[in-house]
Amino acid sequence: MGRPGYLTPPIFAVLAAIGYVYYTTIFVAVAGWLGLATAAGVANAAAFTALTAACLATYAAAASRDPGRVPPAYLPDVEDAEIPVHEVKRKGGDLRYCQKCGHYKPPRAHHCRVCKRCVLKMDHHCIWINNCVGHENYKIFLVFVLYAVIACFYSMILIVGSFLHSAPKAEQLGSDSSKTSIIICGILLCPLTLALSVLLAWHIYLILQNKTTIEYHEGVRAMWLAEKGGDLYHHPYDLGVYENLISVLGRRIFCWLCPVSTNTGNGLRFRAFYDIPLSTPPCDLQKIALHSQ
């Protein structure tokens, strides 16, 4: 496993897959079906090229962007009345402290064993970008997956269309290498499109709940423990669908698909649903045991 910021075999595999799909889609499928000298061929080639460029730009940004570092001097202020939630360890109730990094953990931060440091609002470590997905690059990662899903479906349509158009005319199928390229590309795209679509749907679900992947798994256990004790569990950072969306994508709707980080806050403190009712008693709001790592 390479260190974050370095090119690794999974990254080369992703770039090779993008290059192969792009070449086959434009210079085999579109060229053989619509032709690159026709208006339809040029339009589809230009659209798919722009989509591929967007995928590469967001992929590079997600891989190179720091997911969020915990400031060395960070210290939680338990007496700050504007912060109703302080995450504590399940055992002992102490404020979360990272022994490996030697500092306290902000809410929603976790230590990554691969990056060897704590990451703000860590979602997961992704080997395909050789980087953590966290507070500063989560939106960029999500936009990359969205563009990749659209590109996969677009490529599938062009490849299937080319195959159906050429299949009845065996003499016009072209060289064996072209047919082989289309078949291999189709075989590659089927599982890739399915996997990326599932990944996109999963993260859309998490955003609507204002959860990270880690918090989802922690929430399953917390919900089970709450039900076991006869209580109800509510994810503390679930602010409602709209507020959850803008907390990740930003308040400017027209910038939601832009490959820039427009999330709210600095990653050290987050709004909780406890912030809404000002008359809520302070008891039981100061500390919520979410995670021990």
Please spell the DSSP secondary structure of 257-285, one letter per residue: TSSS---SS-SS----GGGS-TTS-STTT
Residue type, position 248, single letter: V
Closest CA to 63 of 111, 113, 15: 15
Judge contact between 209 and 240, C-beta under 8 A: no
Using an 8 Å Cβ cutoff, are 250 and 139 in contact?
yes
Annotation marks residue 55 as catalytic? no
Catalytic residue among 126, 132, 190, 283: 126
Tokens of 91: 């055992």
What backbone torsions phi and psi does residue 25 show, to the nearest 5 degrees?
A: -65, -45
Question: Angle 176-209/213-228 helices, nearest 10 degrees?
Answer: 40
- Torsion angle (degrees, nearest 10) of CA 246, 247, 249, 251: 40
- Can you tell me the distance from the alpha carbon of 262 to that of 271, in angstroms, rounded to the nearest whole number? 16
Residue 81 one-letter amino acid: A
* Catalytic residue ranges: 126
